Each structure stands twice: as C-alpha cells, then as structure tokens.
Structure 1
Amino acid sequence: MSTASAETEITRIEVGSGAAARSIAMRIFRTESGPGRPTLVWLGGYRSDMTGTKAVEVEHYARAAGTDCIRFDYSGHGASGGDFRDGTISRWIEESLAVVDHAAPASRLILIGSSMGGWVALRLIQELRRRGETHRVAGLVLIAPAPDFTAELIEPNLTRAEKTSLAERGYFEEPSQYSPEPNIFTRALIDDGRANRVLSGPVETGCPVHILQGMRDPDVPYTHALKLMEHMPADDVVMTLIRDGDHRLSRDEDIAKLKQAIGAMLTQA
C-alpha cells in the first residue's frame, strides 16, 4: 500500500441557503499533466470521511495515474459543517452534485462509491442524466454498495424499542463496531430514503460498473450487491466477490483490487 502523502489542501464551498446553508470541505488533487482523463470522485459511506484508508489510496492512485481526484466530506461528516442529525440522502446528493459542478465542471467522472456512497453515486448519475448530461460519468466503482439501505436493511429489522424511539425522539441509536460513538439513524433519514429508492425499478447508469463485495460483510450482505446487479440489465457490470472480505475492504489486497478496477475504468474511458 502506498505511503506517500495525499494531504492536499482543504478548500470549501457553501451549499444551500439560509438555515440550510453548510460548508463542504474538499481536497482536490490536480494532475500536472493537465485535464484529459476522467476525474476520480470519492463518495464515502455513512459516518466515514475523506481521510479514510480507501479515500486516501484513491488519491494516491490518481497521482500515479496522472488524473485529477476529488475527495470531500458530506455535511455532518469530517471537516464539513452542518449537524449530522440533519443529514439525509437528498441533502448529501445535493452536496455531491455541487462539489462535482464546482471542482470538475467540464470533466468526465469516474465515481467511486463506498457503502452508502454507492447509493449516492447511483442517485448522482440519475440527477446528471436528468440534466441531459447522459455521458458525464465514464465509469462507476462500487465498494460494498448499500443503495436503499434504510428501506432494505434498516426498516425491516427495527426492534420495537427502536420504532418507539423513532416515534418519540425522532431517532434511534445502535452500537458501532467502527467507532466508540453509536450510530444514529433519524426519522428524517429513513423517510427521505424512501423518496430516493433506486431498487424499485431498472437502474441504468450508461457506463461500465465494477462492484467489489466482501462475502463476510456483516453490515451489507453480499446478496444485496447481487440484487443491485439484477437491477442493472442494460449495463456492463463486473462483480468481484471477495470470499473473506468484510465491509470495509481496506486490507492491502482489497486496495489492490480497488485500484485494478479504477485502472480498468480509465482504460475504457
């Protein structure tokens, strides 16, 4: 795994207005070779940030490959402003769209979405296509993708206590194996998740797709990735199932597979 520094300078943009305004932190790497190849865009997972292992390694790869790279934090995450409990899929999609419009307005994109970031990536493509930018995305790499996780993975498994907490407090908490702080899921997130579902019909990206999925993932079962693949009949989809892989897929061998997938997208672009 690369050990070179990837600490590009933090820059910020403001997204939203009035009470909904929030400062979004970005780290943008510009290759010295100039524009030409697609820009790599990292879309992180729920409660993760742009300093995570995979995010940093994506920028390391961009440096070696001679292409631009964008990392950023959703509101309520990492170095960005905003209250985490105000976060919804719609809110994070709005921020993602604002970031790519600001940082790569004329560039084709390779979206790299991890866990919830896979859901954001799919919805971002829908929004770009709705604007007429059908061919803006040159490739899609999804790592343990969790589209529709609120409706598909959380709601069906809510306990009576969690349902009561959602009704009375507007959120519920559960222990996290990745942080000493508990995961918080709000009623607004769950309600908004229903409005952003992508697995209710065919998913069409118009670009090659590579899914990396661990078969020992305790958070997003590999059957969820298979379900997503079934909803993509028109796309060129490759799936790599990693027999002993967990949800993070951050081991050296996992990162190597991630970089291979990105390299293949760059070759096809």
Structure 2
Amino acid sequence: MLTQTAIDRVVRRALDEDAPWGDLTSETLIPADATATADLVAREPGVFSGGSVFRAAFAATDPAIRVELLAADGSAFAAGDRLARVAGPARAVLTAERVALNLTQRMSGVSTLTARYVAAVRGTAARIADTRKMTPGLRALERHAVVAGGGHNHRFSLSDAVMAKDNHLALVGDDLTGALRDARARLPHTTHIEVEVDRLDQIPAVLAAGVDTIMLDNFSLDDLRAGVALIGDRAIVEASGGVNLDTVAGIAATGVDVISVGALTHAARGIDLGLDIALEQG
C-alpha cells in the first residue's frame, strides 16, 4: 500500500535535490503574481500510475496549486489524452514540473510494462510478481505501479519473509532439511518461508522441511513441468530467471503459481508525458 507518508518523503527529497536554493530561472523571469494552467498530456499510449505522487509534488511546492486528476491509476491511455489539470502560481508550477513528471513517467512506465506481462499470461493461473530489483528510494512507488499494471507484489524488504537463495544455501551445510526446520522452529508461525532451488534434485529436501514456497530458478520448461508435478499442492511454486515477454507465456503454461519478473522495474523505461502550460488570463 502506497501511503501519503511514503509519497511525501520521496517528493520532498526530490524537490530538495532539484531546487535546493529555489528555482532561479522562474524567480527571475516570471512575475510573482502570475498564475498558470497546465495539462498533463500523454505523448504515447500506456497505463497510468502515480496520480497521487503527481499531485503531491505540486502541493509540496505550493499548497495554492490545484491539481485535478483526469485518469485513475491503472487506467489505459492513448497518445494525446489529458491525464491531469494543474492551476496555480506560475512560479511554483514551473518549479514542481520536472519532479512531478519524472516520478509519474517512471511509475507509468512500470505499470505499462507490467500490464504487458499480465496480458501475456492471461488464461493461465500464474501471477506476475515483482522483485527487489528496484530503484533505491523509490521502492514504495514502484511496487504501487506494479499493482496498477495488474501485477502482484513480492516481499517488500528483507525483513518481511525468509527467502533462502543460492548464496544462503551454500553456507548452511549439508543438512538442508534440518537447517530449514530449525529456522521454522525459531520463527513466528505467521512468517512465510521461501527457498530457491536451481535443480530438480534439490526439491525433495526442501519439501521435507515444510516450506511455504519453492522458487524454481532458471529451469527449462520441461524441468518446470517436472517441478510442478513433484511439488504438487505441498507448496506454492514460483518460477524466476530467464523471464521476458517472449518466454513468459510458455513459463505460465507449465502450471507454476507465480512468475517473478525483475524486468518489471529494472528494465522499465519512463513513459513520455508532457506538461503543456499556459499563462492564466484575468
């Protein structure tokens, strides 16, 4: 869930970075009493995300700025569509413009790419989920954008769940089942345990420990099908590695429950949005 506190923290940091001592250009060229209107306009099609962040960037710059959102997060738009309307003190509108655009373009890029992955697996039972491969400082925003695109969130942070990956397993010794059982015994009963495997022969030891999710990492399609059959309904089956728009449908067809896709965030490009501004008359 994207909270106002998380939004304000990101926006304030971005504004302080962009205008640490004010906006020299706007303060020099634009009369202090000038007011302006501006439209957020899509230059290309996509899926919108970040309306609350867009509004917050202007509000943090000057509370007198009014923002009317014309598109809801998760809604598809075409090139030329108006997504929001801004009105208020011209200097402040110009000062907030780049931060508001940067964050909204980034979030809409993530939601647009996520929607393409979700569409590619439609008709299967597989969920598209994000990973922790996110922009430092923007995790809350990017996770929200994934959901806006129809995807699902993985754990938010290292503090949320146990997720034993290859480097963890390399250090736990030969008794993997015992190590996982010991971990389960020390954890609260509400804690989810997931274990990554990269070979079929690792699955029985992990299953014997009673984990909640088994991640099949970089498996071939044949091995994914075999892994799904071996695990059955004893754990959630997650596929990861080698996932792109060309491969995701085939992976989903193997019967996995979840497909985690780092590309949703690390490979998303910002959607081209523009702020068309005009001096307000009268």
Bucket of the pairwise TM-score, normalised by the shorter protein: under 0.3
TM-score (norm. length: structure 1)? 0.27
Greater relative contact order structure (CA < 8 Å, 6+ sep): 2
Structure showing greater Rg: 2
TM-score (norm. length: structure 2)? 0.26
